[in-house]
Amino acid sequence: QKEVEQNSGPLSVPEGAIASLNCTYSDRGSQSFFWYRQYSGKSPELIMSIYSNGDKEDGRFTAQLNKASQYVSLLIRDSQPSDSATYLCAVKGYGGSQGNLIFGKGTKLSVKP
Amino acid sequence: GAVVSQHPSWVICKSGTSVKIECRSLDFQATTMFWYRQFPKQSLMLMATSNEGSKATYEQGVEKDKFLINHASLTLSTLTVTSAHPEDSSFYICSVGRGNTEAFFGQGTRLTVV
């Protein structure tokens, strides 16, 4: 069974610090990787997507992918209280439709002022 | 990204009644839409894949006769929860995907069955 594992947290960091969120996945054939942010009572919104090994930066966010280790992470620099949310890691297999998109249970991040 | 509109955002219904949730793709003709369910403190779970003009594909364990899906046009899919019970209370979310890339979600519908 294909699985995506995340530490449920909560992860608590002070304002201005770097928050590091981690995710591992079981399917070696996975090709696409996504980080979503979900505020309480709201639907997820896409933060980052990454498809190849290495780092991808977008503003304060950096996604890191290591396919050999089946590991993907999200770094949030200069964390703000507004970043407090649950972060979902999602993984998609090779080909196919969105039906292959598997979500982790999410890591709850709390940024303290 | 795609703009997805979901309605209603919340609904309270009595046990035994049916509830319809609409999902609209506003800027993209979607041959396929997806319905997820999320219980408190749980992850998103795919319920079914909605296919325009044909029958929906349901995930294992999801009752197709209870969760009726209609995808009559390229911009609208509906999910009807029939004979709802308190255990059906959940957050229902639809999504649209462009090819093999990321998913874009509707605002979600909070269903409470009393």
The band of A38, judged by pLDDT with boundaries at 50, 70 and 90, is very high
Which pLDDT does position A3 carry in this prediction?
87
Summary mean pLDDT of chain B? 91
Cα–Cα distance for residue pair A34/A13, rounded to 1 Å: 22
Position A98 pLDDT exceeds 70: no
Position B38 pLDDT exceeds 80: yes
* Rounded mean pLDDT, A33-39: 95
Query: Residue B48: how many CA atoms within 13 Å on its side-chain side?
Result: 25
Which pLDDT does position B32 carry in this prediction?
85
Which pLDDT does position A102 carry in this prediction?
85
The band of A7, judged by pLDDT with boundaries at 50, 70 and 90, is confident
Cα–Cα distance for residue pair A113/B48, rounded to 1 Å: 41
* CB < 8 Å to A90, chain B: 103
Q: Which tokens in the block code for residue B53?
A: 């003009």
* pLDDT one-digit tens code per residue, B73-84: 889 999 999 999
Position B105 pLDDT exceeds 60: yes
Interface contact flag, B44 A96, Cβ < 8 Å: no
Residue with the larger pLDDT of the pair A31 and B77: B77
Which pLDDT does position A14 carry in this prediction?
97
Interface contact flag, B97 A98, Cβ < 8 Å: yes
Q: Are A106 and A21 in contact (CB under 8 A)?
A: no
Interface contact flag, A49 B44, Cβ < 8 Å: no
Q: How many other C-beta atoms are found inside a 10 Å radius of the C-beta of residue B103?
A: 25
Q: Which tokens in the block code for residue A18?
A: 């770097």
Interface contact flag, B1 A90, Cβ < 8 Å: no
Collect all residues with Cβ–Cβ distance below 8 Å to B60 and sequence separation of at least 6: none
Between positions 59 and 88 of B, the ones with CB within 8 A of A are none
Position A71 pLDDT exceeds 90: yes
Cα–Cα distance for residue pair B49/A112, rounded to 1 Å: 39
Which pLDDT does position B42 carry in this prediction?
85
* Rounded mean pLDDT, A42-57: 94
Position B30 pLDDT exceeds 60: yes
Which pLDDT does position B10 carry in this prediction?
96
Among chain B residues, the shortest Cα distance to A99 is held by B49
Position A95 pLDDT exceeds 60: no
Summary mean pLDDT of chain A? 91
Which pLDDT does position B99 carry in this prediction?
60
Position A54 pLDDT exceeds 80: yes
**What is the per-residue DSSP string for A53-64?**
SEEEEETTEEEE
* CB < 8 Å to B60, chain A: none
Q: Hey, which residues does A3 pair with through a beta bridge? A: none
The band of A97, judged by pLDDT with boundaries at 50, 70 and 90, is low
